[in-house]
Amino acid sequence: MGRSKTWFFKWLGSYRSGNSEWYIDDPRSPKQTPGKTSIEMEEIIKLTRQSLYNEDVFCGAQAIHWELSEQGLSSIPSLRTINRIINRNDLTHRRTGRYEAKDIPYPKFETRLPNHRQQLDFVGPRHLRTEGEALRFYSLNVVDLTTGRCGIQPVYNKSGDAVYEAIWGIWKRLGMPRHLQVDNEFSFYGSPTHPRGMGPLIRLCLKYGIELWFIPPSEPWRNGVVEQFNFHHQQKFLDRVTMESKEELEEGSLKYEYKHNSRYRYSKLGGKTPLAALENHKGFKLRFPDPEEPIPTMSLAKSKTGRYHLIRHIRSDGILNVFGEKFKLPPELYYEYVVATVDVEQQRLLIFHDKKQRLDFDYKLR
């Protein structure tokens, strides 16, 4: 038969065993797998994932691992194992892509302490249905880069007074920053007709010793932290919660703000929530607006000291655009990012590249 004696006597023994299914080969897989995740642990992972999903917070493998760790469970599976379990049970969650940075060096900033740098941005316009009419609104969102804490304030137009009131309300809860980073909205810098007029937000920041930073035009990823927050804010709040009045919108925004700060966990924070990350800086004192001071208005006087900054990418024409006003730069700065700093006291426009001052221009503020 072309078979060995071992093979023959194996089947002879099986035949003589009296088992009616003696001719069926035994499975070759090991009868015991000590490294296999238990059924109980797999169920815990599935339930934890579902719980996080229902809370509308991050619910990927890393978030599940952090949640299990805080529950004091032992022998928690690896991230790879958790990923396999949620994939096998069709519990995956869509992940957005990541921006790939260009090769051109971009100014870098340190953010070691709470409120060292905040990013601010508008979301909208969106609309509420109030008694059959559509009420347009925006959301002014602020994120502290060090702790990830957010501040949310609905506004119903982009006027200077609306921006003042919104950011003042946020700073009462979040604290005032040392640096504030924004895009190039007219509401933030004023008007291209009067580029040296120091718009409302510039005046507000100068009054309270806050350095305002304008990112390059058409490069929203430079405000990437608040942009990513805006995505979650729209996906998990504005697109899901039905609101029919200003009161419901403002109350819901405060609830989402607290939920984000107390429940969302981030890898950059070591799996902590933003409020837990703030606890790591117990000796640091946040700066808040004076509760007795009224909300600033458009009538703020121009400051005589302080600085504000614009980050700009210089193209082949060598033009630096400062809110519509153009300055010619030398060829060595072509295709580079520069920081244009307005020194209010000295009335000068200082040009920095790679943290070194290269040029300065006379810049009389009006």
Q: Classify 351 as helix, strand or coil.
A: strand
The H or E element that residue 151 is part of is strand 150-155
User: Given this model, what pLDDT does residue 269 score?
Assistant: 86
Residues in the chain, total: 366
In Å, the largest CA–CA distance within the chain is: 107
pLDDT at 356 > cutoff 80: yes
DSSP label of 333: G
Question: Average pLDDT, stretch 249-266?
Answer: 89
| Residues whose CB is less than 8 angstroms from the CB of residue 126 and which lie 6 or more positions away in sequence, other chains included | 136, 137, 138, 139, 238
User: Given this model, what pLDDT does residue 158 score?
Assistant: 81
| Structure tokens, 261 | 């700060």
User: Given this model, what pLDDT does residue 34 score?
Assistant: 61
Identify which of 20-29, 172-181, 215-224 has the greatest average pLDDT: 172-181
Cα distance between residue 342 and residue 339, in whole Å:
10
| Structure tokens, 300 | 């703020």
Question: Average pLDDT, stretch 28-44?
Answer: 70
- Judged by average pLDDT, the poorest of 63-72, 102-111, 209-218, 308-317 is 63-72
Digit-coded pLDDT (tens) for 303-321:
888 999 999 999 888 999 9
pLDDT at 97 > cutoff 60: no
